[in-house]
Amino acid sequence: MRKRMRTTAVTAVAVALSAALAAPAVAAGPGGDRTGDTGDHRATARAVRAAVEGGVPGVTLRAEDRRGVWTTTAGVGNLRTERPRSPHDRYRVGSITKTFVATVLLQLEAEGRLSLDDTVDSWLPGLVTGNGHDGTRITVRQLLNHTSGIFDYTADENFGRTYFLEEGFFEHRYDTLAPEDLVRVAMSHEPDFAPGAGWNYSNTNYVLAGLVIEKSTGRPYGEEIRRRVIAPLHLTGTSVPGTRTGVPGPSSRAYGKLTEDGSGPVHDVTRLNPSMASSAGEMISDSKDLNRFYRALLTGRLLPGEQLEEMTDTVAVNDRNGYGLGLMSTELSCGVTVWGHGGGIHGSTSDAVTTRDGRHSVAFNFNGDWAGDPEAVIEAEYCGD
């Protein structure tokens, strides 16, 4: 995962749960801007077309600001039929799942059900141990802001070969993995650093966060997301699929290369068992829902003020980016700061960001994982020419 603020889970061996393989572009399919490039979104429309010209099969985007709603698509949703992408497409959102998980944990803190300063071991005794990992020294807060030092299971080379590269993916794409299985992969490695001594993006943190939700509520983390976020906000295109292998319609196909260097043919990777991502990145949504979610979150509809302040208290990642609790901040070239998250999973690369006041939001998806520049699209939307 790129550690810009898409925080993809990219590993040395393959595409990871929250990002796409960086690789050479392939020829784009036909298609184009479906809404027109007039008004203040002209730069965004150009950036979307540039992504397709650079190899992304297709893009769908929705922006909302004081002028209203603007949507655009480019390229295709199906390389075989050349069917265009739709503004209403649902897609796998990868690590954007993390913001939903963090929101639920902060709600539980507000209700007095847990404390972010609780140790991981107090909720999941004996699970985080081995090779220097010690759950008695790691807090829930450190899971959420990636300062735990816990090894990222998607960086395990064998896991990468099995689930991200071509031969392993097609053999194992429908495997069901328990979250504890993913944690055990991480525990077979040494931690990245002592708890609180650094920052490193680790999908294992959010697999554990999902388990803390389940332990503290007695219900699956996905059920808590549906009850606390999806239903109240009427997010009709959003789901926590569990082991369901397909993407509900309307949707496009998802494409990946499944090689370490991004060479080779394009494969249809739409169908897979997302338990390999678990609460680190399994969710499905659409651009309308993502804009609504982040707008509601940043304007205080989902969390009390104290918890929203905790969520937006960031750890510096670099000069422009900070990571809070499942929420990222990025200062753009024109001085605007946006908040949100990015993510990806096989064949799907997504971003959703909004201004702190919730008045200007954009969410979009590339249905390929080896090409395209999401940062360029965000820069275009907020900074223009």
Please give the C-alpha separations between residue 160 and each of 11, 26, 188, 307, 365, in angstroms, as whole numbers: 8, 23, 15, 36, 23
Cα separations (Å) of 71 from 32, 74, 378?
12, 11, 14
Instruction: Report the 10 Å Cβ neighbour count for 321.
Output: 18
148 is catalytic: no
d(Cα 324, Cα 16) in Å, to the nearest integer? 21
Q: Of 95, 239, 279, 329, which residue is the catalytic one?
A: 95
Cα–Cα distances (Å) from 102 to 140, 302, 329, 362, in that order, read 10, 11, 15, 21
Helix (H), strand (E) counts: the chain: 12, 14
Residues 160, 10: Cα–Cα separation, whole Å: 10
Identity of the residue numbered 143: L
The answer to whether the beta carbons of residues 191 and 150 sit under 8 Å apart is yes
Which residues carry out catalysis?
95
